[in-house]
Structures are given as structure tokens and as C-alpha cells.
């Protein structure tokens, strides 16, 4: 199936831990994104990569570090997790053609306890 896939789907961890979320797309898209959806369901962009190059870095704590080993993968590493990091994190991708739409992964629900 052509898709954007994220792992894990659920992640429960203690404060202070370091964790990673992985994302892969097999759509041949050039641009990948990380979005955060908070408890109020608002969706905000965190990062955007175009062909492995960081192009958007919103005001996100530097505890969050994206890594793109190739244009089909965009991972998110979070250091020193805090309670406020609890949210659903969505990966998405879009084609190089700016007229192309977004395809989203199913999300990773992160709970920091």
C-alpha cells in the first residue's frame, strides 16, 4: 500500500526520557513534515524537510530534533521529555509540485507521565 507510515502508534514514557518517532513514505514525495496536535485538537507545523533539507523550523524547543536520512524518511527525536510534550504527532508528505496535496500518517500518541 502506498502510504505514510509512522511508528510507534502509541508511546507512553516518563519525564526526562529520550524517545524517537519514525516516519516513512513510499509515495515518492519530496517534502515531509511533522505536525503536533495538542489536547485542543489544534494542528501546528513543527518541521518541514524538502529532499533531506530542513526548510521549516517553527518555534519548537531544541529538545526536538528531526532527522531525514533520505527523502522517504523523516524521524523525530525528543530529548528530556516533559509533561507538556504529550500530544499526537503527525507525519505528512507532499509532492514537489506545489499543487499537490498532503498525505498524513495515522499519528503517534505520545503520553509523558
Partner 1 sequence: KQEVTQIPAALSVPEGENLVLNCSFTDSAIYNLQWFRQDPGKGLTSLLLIQSSQREQTSGRLNASLDKSSGRSTLYIAASQPGDSATYLCAVPNTNAGKSTFGDGTTLTVKP
Contact pick of 7, 65, 86, 106 for partner 1 (by CB under 8 A)? 106
DSSP type of residue 71: T
Residue whose C-alpha is closest to residue 33's, from 90, 71, 88:
90
Number of residues that bind partner 1 (CB under 8 A): 27
CB 89 within 8 A of CB 76: yes
How do 108-112 and 10-13 pair as beta strands? parallel
Supply the minimum distance, in Å, between the C-beta of residue 15 and partner 1: 24
Supply the minimum distance, in Å, between the C-beta of residue 73 and partner 1: 16
Using the rule CB under 8 A, give the single segment among 15-23, 29-37, 65-73, 75-83 that binds partner 1.
29-37
Q: What x-and-dash track marks residues 37-76 binding partner 1 by CB under 8 A? A: ----xxxxx--xxx----xx--------------------
Cα 97 to Cα 5, 31, 50, 83, 89, distances in angstroms? 21, 10, 12, 38, 25
Report how far apart the first and last C-alpha atoms of the chain are (Å, whole number): 35
Contact status: 93 vs partner 1 (CB under 8 A):
no
Q: Which residues are at the interface with partner 1 (CB under 8 A)?
A: 31, 33, 35, 41-45, 48-50, 55-56, 90, 92, 94, 98-107, 109
Amino acid at each position: 500500500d502506498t502510504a505514510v507510515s509512522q511508528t510507534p502508534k502509541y508511546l507512553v514514557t516518563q519525564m526526562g526520557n529520550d524517545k524517537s518517532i519514525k516516519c516513512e513514505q513510499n509515495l515518492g514525495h519530496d517534502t515531509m513534515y511533522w505536525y503536533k496536535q495538542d489536547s485542543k485538537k489544534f494542528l501546528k507545523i513543527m518541521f518541514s524537510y524538502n529532499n533531506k533539507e530542513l526548510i521549516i523550523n517553527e518555534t519548537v524547543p531544541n529538545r526536538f530534533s528531526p532527522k531525514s536520512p533520505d527523502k522517504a524518511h523523516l524521524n523525530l527525536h525528543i530529548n528530556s521529555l516533559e509533561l507538556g510534550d504529550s500530544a499526537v504527532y503527525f507525519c505528512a508528505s507532499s509532492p514537489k509540485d506545489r499543487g499537490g496535496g498532503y498525505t498524513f500518517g495515522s499519528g503517534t500518541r505520545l503520553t509523558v507521565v
